[in-house]
Amino acid sequence: MTGPDDRIGPLGFPDPGPARFSSVTDARHRLAESGYLADDGIAGVVHLADRLAKPVLVEGPAGTGKTELAKSVARVTGSRLIRLQCYEGLDESKALYEWNYKKQLLRIQAQQLVDEPAGVGSDGTAAAGGAGGQAGATWRTLEEDIFSEEFLLTRPLLEAIRTTDPVVLLVDEVDRVELETEALLLEVLSEYQVSIPELGTIRAERIPMVFLTSNNTRELSEALKRRCLYLHLDYPSLERERDIVRTRVPGITEELADQVARIVRSLRTLELKKYPSVSETLDWARTLVVLGVESIDAEQAKATLHVLLKYRSDLERAAKELQVADQATPSS
Partner 1 sequence: MLDVLTGFVGELRAAGLPVSMTEAVDAAEAVHHIPLEDRDALKYALAATLVKSSAHWKAFETAFEIYFALRTPHHGADEEGRADGEAEDAGEEQGEQPTGPGTGRGRGGGAGEAMSAEELAEMLFRALLSANDAQVAALARQAVTRYAGMEPGRPVGGTYYLYRTLRNLDLDGMLRRLLETARREAGGNLTALEERLARDEFQVRLDKLRRELEDEIRRRLVADRGSEALARSVRKPLPEDVDFMHATREELTALRRAIHPLTRKLAVRLARKRRHGRKGPLDFRSTVRHSLSTGGVPVDPKFRYPRPAKPEIFVVADISGSVASFARFTLHLVYAISSQFSKVRSFVFIDGIDEVTRFFEGVDDVAEALHRINTEADVVWVDGHSDYGHAFNVFWERWAEEITPRTSILLLGDARNNYHASQAWVVQEMRHRARHVYWLNPEPRAYWGTGDSILGEYAVHCDAVYECRNLRQLELFVSELA
7 binds partner 1 (CB under 8 A): no
Size of the site for partner 1 (CB under 8 A): 58
Residue from 13, 87, 101, 139 binding partner 1 (CB under 8 A): 13
Q: Is 5 exposed, middle or buried (0-12, 13-18, 19+ CB in 10 A)?
A: exposed
Residue 297 phi/psi, 5-degree rounding, is -115, 180
37 binds partner 1 (CB under 8 A): no
Quick one: which segment of 92-100, 112-120, 126-134, 217-225 binds partner 1 (CB under 8 A)? 217-225
Q: Contact 259/296 with Cβ under 8 angstroms?
A: yes
Residue from 298, 305, 308, 309 binding partner 1 (CB under 8 A): 298
| Beta-ladder partners of 170 | 83, 211
Q: Contact 179/220 with Cβ under 8 angstroms?
A: no
320 binds partner 1 (CB under 8 A): no
Residue from 225, 240, 286, 310 binding partner 1 (CB under 8 A): 225
Spatial distance between the Cα atoms of 238 and 253, rounded to a whole number of angstroms? 16
Count the neighbouring beta carbons within 10 Å of the beta carbon of residue 249.
Answer: 20
Q: Contact 14/192 with Cβ under 8 angstroms?
A: yes
Nearer to partner 1, 44 or 156 (CB): 44
Residue from 14, 55, 60, 276 binding partner 1 (CB under 8 A): 60
269 binds partner 1 (CB under 8 A): yes
Nearer to partner 1, 135 or 307 (CB): 307
234 binds partner 1 (CB under 8 A): yes
The two beta strands, 229-232 and 80-85, are unpaired
User: CB of 189: closest distance to partner 1 in angstroms?
Assistant: 13
59 binds partner 1 (CB under 8 A): yes
Among residues 92, 60, 87, 70, which one has the least CA distance to residue 175? Answer: 87
User: CB of 101: closest distance to partner 1 in angstroms?
Assistant: 19
Residue from 95, 245, 301, 305 binding partner 1 (CB under 8 A): 301
